[in-house]
Structure 1
Amino acid sequence: MKIFLTLLALWLALNESLAPGHILLGAAIAGLGLASLRRLQGRTGAVRRPMTALLLLLRVVIDVLRSNVAVARIVLGLGPARRAAGFLAVPLELRAPAGLAALACIVTATPGTSWALYDREGNILTLHVLDLADGEALASEIKQRYERPLMEIFE
């Protein structure tokens, strides 16, 4: 109801009118907007594991900070001279769309990694990694640090 009233108020404010025609048209547009939003949102519910979500958020913040330092070292030429960038295939168990979206945000927010491809049929995530020293270890780390908590939260 709040969204409906907000959309209606926005319509009336944009048209600078409280005429009955604008109220009816605004109500119709707000109703269509609300119906569209509900269809796009799909099934919603309460957060299943709020403490897991909070711990995951903390872990992501720490990992992003650590990764910023690592990427800065690479850019500044500190550390080993030879770095191997590459693609890494990570088989996933996570299938919930909201969980996959959260994983995409986490991976993309972490400097040095980016979400390159997701194969829905094989449930395989392909990442591009700036410093791909040990692909198996990184895949295992992603599964343990991010996928497992996301499965607890979203599945």
Structure 2
Amino acid sequence: MRRRLFPSFPQSITVFIFWVLMARDTSPGTLLMAAFLAWLMPQIAARLEREFARLGNVWALLPLGLRLLGDIVLANLTVARQVLGPEKRLRPGFVWVPLELTNIHGISALASIITLTPGTLTAELSEDRRYLLVHCLDVDDPQAMIADLKRRYEAPMLKVFP
């Protein structure tokens, strides 16, 4: 019975405390609203589809992070040169990148990594989670770009999210 009323007691307490702190008030109305939200929010969260992250080799994040840091610096220089150069040289476009990652947390991390790198932006994930649509500021060879993204970023992510 308690489990149905409060699917996650810690979450209920957290919602209650945060509501009171955000309201900066302890009037009866605020406490009543906090209690209502403390009951409602875990009810909603319990109905969401959950997919837990299974972590593999988290040490693979260290070289990936260093590579990403270097890529961000180089991409900033490249994008600055491209933007300041002749506009007609740019070949922007969208590319569908096939994914081997299946865990939504890994896909989300990969999409974030791609978006962090200047000149690329993750635009969409296909409904079946098998393709990521990436916008590139300058893409002359889409297949080479796909291979590069998969080798540099997706392969290490596959070690972290097997």
Query: Structure 1 length normalisation: TM-score?
Result: 0.76
Structure 2 residue 48 is matched with structure 1 residue 34: no
**Which of residues 122, 140, 148 is equivalent to 1:141?**
148
Task: Please tell me the root mean square deviation across aligned C-alpha atoms, in Å.
Answer: 3.1
CA separation in 2, counterparts of 1:122 and 1:15?
A: 42
CA separation in 2, counterparts of 1:65 and 1:153?
A: 24
In the alignment of these two chains, the number of paired residues is 153
Structure 2 residue aligned with 1:50: 58
Unaligned stretches of 5+ residues in structure 2: 1-8
Change (3 A) 1:37 1:73: same
CA separation in 2, counterparts of 1:22 and 1:117?
A: 40
Contact 2:61 2:156 (C-alpha < 8 Å) held by counterparts: yes
CA separation in 2, counterparts of 1:145 and 1:113?
A: 14
Unaligned stretches of 5+ residues in structure 1: none
1:26-80 C-alpha deviation (Å, 9 max, x unpaired): 34421332343455472435743221123222222221111111000111218xx
Contact 2:53 2:105 (C-alpha < 8 Å) held by counterparts: no
Q: Which amino acid aligns with 2:40?
A: L
Structure 2 residue 114 is matched with structure 1 residue 107: yes
Structure 1 residue aligned with 2:79: 71
Percent same amino acid at aligned positions? 34
Contact 1:12 1:18 (C-alpha < 8 Å) held by counterparts: no
Structure 2 residue aligned with 1:16: 25
